[in-house]
Amino acid sequence: MLSSKLKVGDTIGIISPSAPITEDFKEQFNRGLQVFKDMGFKVKLSKNIYANTLGYSATIDEKIEDINEMFSDKEVRAIICSQGGQNSNTILPYIDYEVIKSNPKIIMGISDSTAILNAIYSKTGIITYHQNDIIWGLGREVSEKEVNDFKLRLIDGENGKVEHFTKWKSLKDGKAEGILIGGNLSTLVKLLETEYSPDFNNSILFLEEYAEESPLDEIDSKINILKQHKVFEKIKGLWIGYYEKDTEIAKFEDVIMNNLKEYTFPILKCNDFGHNCENVVIPIGAKAKLNAISCEIEILEKTLN
């Protein structure tokens, strides 16, 4: 089941399923909205986009009203999350997945949105999209590379090789094919052993982490949570993204390699997805080929009609 490509003039709906848009972020939020307006899109804010009823978040009911209405709204052709946070997983049991199946459309986000993106794919089979959000993506700094990649993937509907914004490198050589699954490590861990967890069997797992909230010892712990749940026995390849606090002494990739020595799957490193960097569009649920020899990821199938 495929969603439709975007066309200039389409309406993009904006939701806040995680942290609230507080007053100090409204200017940045509006800058992000303007980027999409300048691309020729209309934007439609959800009813509770600014709600902060709990003092740290909108309520579950407010968030659910917004996401379900956006999928039901025939005018809205795509949905983008305003930003991340910590608690989007609280709404997963209340999302109307039948409505989503009946109204497949692009939904895009990063960070805490990992929970929603993977849950929707897991429950409906609809491909979702990992890419920067409104506030911390284009609202912070307009990236021509991100805008062009958005157009290439979501307007032109191109698959093929993923763009390189930076130099990629192999951590373990090899080739593999599988279904792209993943996103933010801390958020993905929250889905384990739930009905919203994606199927890791025969997947290409991609992982990134937010350095401000997860130092390397925390990453070490969470990689081992995945390991103890036998995730790495199921996947075909691993693709890791940007980590802002890498040093010459210790890096995100070092934690990965220290813990995964016994596995033979290929591992590829880049700085082209994650927090506080430019992000390529990654379709969760699409079949892809990982080549850690030539340092490439190739999307092997059409992801949009």
> CA nearest 73: which of 137, 5, 10?
10
CA angle (164, 170, 171) in 5-degree steps: 135
> Does 193 lie in the same domain as 144?
no
Average pLDDT over residues 274-299: 97
Q: Is residue 277 part of a domain?
A: yes
Q: Per-residue confidence at 214, pLDDT binned at 50, 70, 90?
A: very high
Of the candidates 155, 180, 195, which is a domain's last residue? 155
> Does 179 lie in the same domain as 139?
no
Does residue 1 register a pLDDT over 80?
A: no
Average pLDDT over residues 219-223: 98
- Tell me what the pLDDT averaged over the chain comes to: 97
Does residue 237 register a pLDDT over 90?
A: yes
Would you state the pLDDT for residue 67?
Answer: 98
Does residue 37 register a pLDDT over 80?
A: yes
Query: pTM of the predicted model, to two decimals?
Result: 0.97
Of the candidates 88, 120, 155, which is a domain's last residue? 155
For CA atoms 283, 208, 31, 14, the dihedral sign is positive
Of the candidates 120, 155, 190, which is a domain's last residue? 155
Q: Per-residue confidence at 140, pLDDT binned at 50, 70, 90?
A: confident
Cβ–Cβ under 8 Å, residues 186 and 211: no
Q: Per-residue confidence at 57, pLDDT binned at 50, 70, 90?
A: very high
Q: Is residue 212 part of a domain?
A: yes
Q: Is residue 3 part of a domain?
A: no
Would you state the pLDDT for residue 141?
Answer: 83
CATH number of the domain encompassing residue 292: 3.50.30.60
Average pLDDT over residues 76-104: 97
What residue has token string 């089979």?
125
Average pLDDT over residues 104-108: 98
- The range of the structural domain enclosing residue 99 comes to 11-155
